[in-house]
């Protein structure tokens, strides 16, 4: 896994698990790059992808913070899952079949 992806996944999990609450400030790109021994551009790419996913927001000189959108995104996924579960039941799929379809979709 490329280094930027490792950084992105680490922070995405920390945000999703609420280890980093809404409003928590992330280290500066330069500081994190130095701490991890990575290029500044590598960390910047990870932060950019987190921002595109709505998990963090960059506030210029105020830094990068965990966004409230992370909670909104979680709720949107829950709503979509509930809708999927209802549709699966309506179509007569077993729970096992429905879960296997989700697993296949997550692998792609």
Name every residue whose Cβ is closer than 8 Å to that of residue 58 and which is 6 or more positions away in sequence: 47, 51, 64
Q: What are 32-85's pLDDT values in tens digits? A: 999 999 999 999 999 999 999 889 999 888 899 998 876 667 777 888 999 999
Higher local confidence (pLDDT), 77 or 100: 100
Calpha distance 26→15 (Å, rounded): 11
Q: What are 6-30's pLDDT values in tens digits? A: 999 999 999 988 899 988 999 999 9
pLDDT of residue 60: 84
pTM of the prediction? Answer: 0.67
Residue 108 has pLDDT above 80, yes or no: no
Calpha distance 28→33 (Å, rounded): 8
Calpha distance 16→66 (Å, rounded): 10
Residue 90 has pLDDT above 90, yes or no: yes
User: Number of C-alpha atoms within 13 angstroms, CB side, residue 47?
Assistant: 23
Residue 20's nearest CA partner among 62, 48, 56 is 56
Name every residue whose Cβ is closer than 8 Å to that of residue 5 and which is 6 or more positions away in sequence: 46
């Amino acid at each position: 896994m490329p280094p930027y992806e490792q950084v992105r996944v680490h922070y995405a999990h920390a945000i999703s698990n609420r280890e980093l609450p809404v409003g928590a400030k992330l280290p500066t790109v330069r500081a994190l790059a130095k701490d991890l021994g990575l290029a500044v551009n590598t960390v910047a790419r990870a932060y950019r992808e987190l921002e595109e996913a709505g998990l963090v927001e960059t506030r210029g000189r105020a830094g990068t913070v965990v966004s409230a959108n992370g909670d909104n995104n979680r709720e949107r996924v829950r709503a979509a899952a509930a809708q999927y579960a209802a549709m699966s039941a309506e179509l007569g799929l077993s729970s096992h079949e429905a879960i296997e379809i989700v697993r296949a979709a997550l692998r792609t």
